[in-house]
């Protein structure tokens, strides 16, 4: 038997040394069942057996002389012909498929790619697994040069050593005549994109406003570009989401980081004209522009995904708009930011309806212009913001397109895929529509979360009416239990409480974890997010309030009145008395002006998997 073992080990190494050209060990069969009948079958087939042995009582392996024999066909025939055989199969070769981290010096600082619990670049300890599962995603796809991402921002340092291999290059203009529109796209000398800043330029550049050089003089755009496509595994700096991609520089923000609506519009239209697949937008404001809305709608018609940062004002975008993230066009995907513990960033905007998903956005290491650094070796910094979260999603969309060509020019389907495949985070329910953080590996495999899957929804009438105009302090919790439910959501037919500021209305899961806190009134009704579990709790509390009023009082002199806290004093011209007005406050009493809330029904989904198992 020693000879046999040596042979198996030799074949094992031989198989790996030949780059595992076969998926099984040549000449070997593993079977369970009657070994005698199997040996007789092989003898009848004229197949010489070199040796055989038993692994366990009724599990055996056979080594035949002919190492070139098609074992797959042979075992298929054995399974259909040999009596007393439970199964026969090849001795399959198994390999380690895990991809190694890229050889980039700062990769360990890129917690968003692989979070082992290491400190972030700014020193915050991480939570293992709070990342977008980039290494697993790279086992499936690494990107393609055919995918174009337009970075609408402060420009890109297209000479950066970590970016230049993945820059979009207009070869016709690069090799053309200066001052001539060689490719006929309406822009002369646009080699890496275009600088759309028109303010301060006295005359157009050969017929077009702006300038052909989109070089970044701020740093923001280059940082976003690096997240999408800094070249991995090149022994330089950082790794972007895509090993291969083309980054188009669409500069409309100036050195100070500001720009105009008209220039942003022109940047979008240039991207459309030059057939970008994705537009990454880490900018915005509260003013709505019909011009920008039109441009985004045109991008949608041309099959372009428009990724937008949700904003950094810690506000609810469901109630306070932030554009362009809040434009309600099907190709717009709005992105909030999370930290290295999978918590919503303290600065991030949010919104259960209008912010679609979260992505890493705190202490993100990426590229910055070489001109702003001592040397190219140190042209890397850590930034924070939803500005960093958005390019993670833009990069994810690019990687997804490189893996699944059926999604080409279908931005709504890409958006749905990214939303449906997030890592669900209970604490993000009510904060983002998807209730989760980007998972690149799940997106590539289309591994849809149970909470997003289509399934039967059951409805149950369930009425709760809170105390109204109560003259006493209220702090009450209602427990709602639905047997067999895997997910529950509630319908509030009205919420007219003093929210925010005085009253508290919140929903907790079965483990008393805060899932959703109301920060606005909903007189027309509101569906809560889906909440995992068969139990949830609703808490309503009012607060002590006091009424401020002014007391009129006589004092010996104005100074005495001011010393007593008066804000206004005067001497009556008729009586010569000093009259002062002192601010006063009533004793605290319960807020009785709140109409509270009413719940009318709930919806739930069952665990259909368990039900199917019970039937079986």
Catalytic residue positions?
A: 153, 220, 387
Bridge-based pairing state of the strands 24-33 and 59-64: antiparallel
| 311 backbone φψ class: left, alpha, beta (φ>0; ψ -120 to 50) | left
Taking CA atoms, 167 is separated from 24, 145, 193, in Å, by 42, 9, 10
Give the C-alpha separation, 533 to 424, whole Å: 13
Range 516-550 burial, b when 16+ CB lie within 10 A, else e: bebbebbeeebebbbbbbbbbbbbbbbbeeeeeee
Annotate 468-536 with DSSP letters as a single string: -S-SS--EEEEEEE-TTEEEEEEEEEEEES-TTTT-EEEEEETT--EEEE--S-BTT-EEPPPEESSEE
Quote the tokens at residue 32.
């369970």
Q: With 0-12 CB in 10 A as exposed, 13-18 as middle and 19+ as buried, what is 360?
A: buried
> Where in 155-213 does DSSP place strands (E)?
193-195
Give CA 397 to chain center in angstroms: 10
DSSP state of 362: S
The DSSP letter of residue 208 is B
DSSP symbol at 341 = T
Distance CA 238, CA 225 (A): 12
286: how many CB neighbours lie within 10 A of its CB?
A: 12
Query: In sequence order, what are the residues at sequence separation of 6 or more whose Cβ sits closer than 8 angstroms to the Cβ of residue 68?
Result: 26
The pairing of strands 278-281 and 244-251 is: unpaired
Give me the DSSP letters along 66-122.
-TTS-HHHHHHHHHHH-TTEEEEEEEE-----PPPPP--TTGGG-TTT--SSPBPTT
CB count, 10 Å around CB of 51? 15
d(CA 180, CA 385): 40
Q: What's phi and psi for 15, nearest 5 deg?
A: -60, -45
For residue 87, what are its two tokens? 């199964």
- Give yes or no for a contact between 155 and 216, defined as CB atoms under 8 angstroms apart: yes
Whether 273 and 247 have beta carbons less than 8 Å apart is answered as no
Distance CA 474, CA 467 (A): 8
């Amino acid at each position: 038997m020693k000879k046999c073992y040596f042979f198996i080990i030799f074949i094992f190494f031989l198989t790996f040394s030949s780059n595992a050209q076969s998926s099984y060990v040549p000449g070997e069969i593993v079977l369970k069942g009657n070994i005698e009948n199997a040996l007789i079958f092989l003898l009848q087939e004229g197949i010489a057996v070199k040796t055989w042995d038993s692994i366990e009582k009724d599990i055996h392996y056979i080594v035949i002389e002919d190492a070139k024999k098609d074992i797959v066909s042979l075992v298929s025939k054995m399974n259909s012909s040999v009596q007393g055989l439970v199964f026969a199969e090849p001795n399959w070769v198994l390999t380690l498929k895990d991809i190694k981290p890229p050889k980039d010096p700062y990769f360990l600082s890129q917690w968003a790619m692989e979070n082992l619990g290491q400190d972030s670049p700014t020193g915050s300890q991480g939570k293992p697994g709070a990342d977008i599962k980039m290494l697993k995603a790279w086992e499936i796809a690494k990107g393609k040069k055919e995918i174009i991402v337009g970075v609408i921002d402060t420009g890109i340092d297209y000479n950066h050593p970590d970016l230049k291999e993945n820059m979009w290059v207009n070869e016709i203009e690069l090799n053309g005549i200066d001052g001539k529109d060689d490719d006929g796209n309406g822009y002369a000398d646009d080699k890496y994109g275009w600088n759309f800043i028109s303010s301060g330029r006295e005359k157009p550049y050969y017929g077009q406003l702006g300038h052909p050089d989109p070089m970044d003089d701020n740093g923001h755009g280059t940082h976003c570009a690096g997240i999408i496509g800094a070249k991995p595994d090149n022994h330089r700096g950082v790794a972007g989401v895509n090993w291969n991609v083309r980054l188009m520089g669409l500069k409309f923000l100036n050195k100070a980081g500001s720009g105009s609506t008209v220039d942003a519009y022109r940047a979008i239209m240039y991207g459309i004209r030059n057939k970008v697949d994705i537009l990454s937008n880490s900018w915005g404001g509260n003013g709505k522009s019909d011009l920008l809305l039109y441009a985004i709608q045109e991008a949608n018609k041309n099959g372009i995904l428009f990724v937008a940062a949700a904003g950094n004002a810690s506000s609810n975008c469901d109630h306070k708009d932030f554009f362009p993230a809040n434009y309600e066009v099907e190709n717009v995907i709005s992105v909030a930011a999370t930290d290295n513990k999978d918590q919503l960033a303290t600065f991030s905007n949010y919104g259960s309806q209008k912010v679609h998903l979260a992505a890493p956005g705190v202490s993100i290491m990426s590229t910055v212009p070489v001109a702003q650094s001592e040397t190219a070796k140190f042209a890397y910094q850590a930034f924070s913001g939803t500005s960093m979260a958005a390019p993670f999603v833009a990069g994810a969309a690019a990687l997804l397109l490189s893996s699944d060509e059926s999604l080409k020019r279908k931005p709504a389907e890409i958006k749905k895929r990214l939303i449906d495949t997030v890592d669900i985070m209970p604490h993000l329910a009510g904060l983002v529509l998807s209730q989760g953080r980007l998972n690149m590996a799940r997106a590539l495999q289309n591994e849809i979360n149970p909470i997003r899957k289509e399934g039967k929804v059951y409805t149950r009438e369930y009425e709760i009416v809170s105390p109204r105009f109560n003259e006493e302090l209220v702090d009450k919790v209602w427990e709602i239990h639905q047997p067999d439910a895997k997910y529950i959501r509630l319908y509030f037919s009205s919420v007219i409480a003093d929210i925010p500021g005085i009253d508290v209305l919140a929903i907790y899961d079965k483990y008393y974890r805060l899932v959703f806190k109301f920060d606005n009134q909903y007189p027309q009704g509101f569906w809560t997010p889906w909440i995992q579990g068969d139990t949830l709790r609703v808490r309503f509390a009012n607060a002590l309030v006091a009424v401020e009023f002014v007391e009129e009082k006589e004092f010996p002199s104005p100074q005495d009145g001011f010393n007593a806290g008066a804000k206004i004093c005067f001497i009556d011209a008729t009586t010569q008395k000093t009259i002062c007005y002192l601010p006063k406050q009533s004793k605290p009493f319960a807020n009785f002006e709140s109409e509270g809330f009413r719940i009318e029904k709930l919806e739930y989904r069952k665990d259909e998997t368990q039900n199917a198992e019970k039937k079986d």
